[in-house]
Every structure is written in structure tokens, then in C-alpha cells.
Amino acid sequence: MEIVQTAGLTLLILVFASLGLSWLNAASIQQVVNRTGKSNSQLWVMKPGIFVHELLHALVGWLFGVKISGFSMRADQDSAAHVTFNFNRRSLRQRLGVGLASAAPVWGISGILLAVGKRAWFHKVALRQLSTLGPNPDWAWVAGWLVLTILLTFGASLSKQDLKNTLIGLPIFIGLLIAVALLMVWLWPAGLSMWRQLNVLLLAVVLVMGVIAGVVNRVLALF
């Protein structure tokens, strides 16, 4: 049960976020492009998300020793920007790196918003006390968090190639998640409670991004 509530739930949230946000954002972006006649890279509200999206691809890949053979923030006929990986398929580290780097816009942006959201909504509340003390919002931070969420949500989506590359490292990632959870059961049981709390916050962040993406999609569909 501990494995399901920690590693299993984390994996489920990230898979849901990857597929759901990618579908919603792709539909919204296409609607914007159709109505404005401009690419998403030309729209200022989407530029921060695009920049962070590509930067996370490149940074995570580099950290795992994956060669970045192409990096561009300029739009072309196929995409608003792109990062190209060149990796050794025999290396478990590099396969994991490509998988994590390809999915990084979802889990990376979720992590950024999770960290800022924790500061904004649960100021000076320890992780182990979240379920008992509840929110303690710092409204200036909450406002900043909402703006940041709106700007980055459009970057938290994966292209078909991103999803395909994610599968390269997914089995290794699942194995690592389970291994970490098992080690924590053995060595640090108290940490499992913190992990469960983080899963709740992560789910909340993903749902907020999903609501924003869904509302934008519906509003665009009306015009």
C-alpha cells in the first residue's frame, strides 16, 4: 500500500499530466494559431512557457550526460523551438536521461509551481503538518504564483516526439521510483508521509494547470 500511495501515485499523476495537459494545450495553441494567424512562438503569453519547456529539455539531458546535438529557440515549419538529443542506447543512464529530459516540461514545470505554491499557500507550514494545519496563504506570493502558473502552463505539454522519447526511459524511471519507495519503507518510514503530502500538492498543481488549460480551451472555442 505504501508503494501505491507514494511511487504509484507519483507515476499516475505525471502520466495523467503528460497526456492530459499535452492534449489540452495542443488544442488551445492550435485554436490561437488559427485565429491570430501567428505561431505560438510569436505570442508573448506563450513565450515564457516555450522558453522554460526547451530549457528543461536541454538542462536535464545535459545533467545525464546526453549530447545535445541541436538547440534552437527559433520557430521553424515543424515547431516553435526544439532540442535534439544524441545518446547511447546501451547506457542506462543516458536512456533514463532522455526519458526524463523529454518529459521534463511536465514534471519540471509542475515542480517549479509546486515549490512556489508551497511558499504561497502554506507559508511557514511544514510538510508533515499540511494535513493538520491547512493553508496559510501569503497573498502577494499567491498572486505571483497564479501569474506564473498561467504563463508556464502552456509550456507543460509534450509533442508526439517528446512522448515517444519519454518511453525510452520510462521502465528505468518506474524501477527507480519503486526502489526509492522500498528503501524509504526500510530506512526512513517517516519520509513516506512527506512523500504522500507532496503527491497531494503535486496533484493540486496539475489540476490547477488543467483547469487553466481547459478554461482557455473553452473560451477560445466560443470565439
The verdict on residue 78 lying in a domain is no
- 82 found inside a domain: no
Which grid coordinates belong to 154?
502552456
Q: For position 33, what pLDDT does the model report?
A: 76
Here the cell at position 113 is: 509551481
pTM summary value: 0.81
- Which residues fall within 8 angstroms of residue 29, CB to CB, at 6 or more apart? 40, 46, 154, 157
The pLDDT assigned to 6 comes to 93
Is residue 111 assigned to a domain? yes
Residue with cell 505570442: 43
Q: Which long-range contacts (CB under 8 A, 24 or more apart) does 191-194 make?
A: 192/2, 192/5, 192/6, 193/128, 194/127, 194/128
Quick one: pLDDT at residue 77? 56
Asked whether residue 90 is assigned to any structural domain, the reply reads no
Note whether residue 86 is domain-resident: no
pLDDT at 170: 94
47 within some domain: no
In a domain, 46, yes or no: no
Per the structure, the count of domains in the chain is 1
Q: Whole domain around residue 142: which residue ranges?
A: 2-40+103-222
One pLDDT digit (tens) per residue for the chain, 223 residues: 788 889 999 999 999 989 998 898 888 878 877 877 777 766 777 888 889 999 999 999 999 999 988 877 766 555 667 788 998 989 999 999 999 999 999 889 988 988 898 899 988 887 777 767 778 899 999 999 989 988 888 888 888 889 999 999 999 999 999 999 999 999 999 889 889 988 988 898 888 888 888 887 787 777 6
In a domain, 156, yes or no: yes
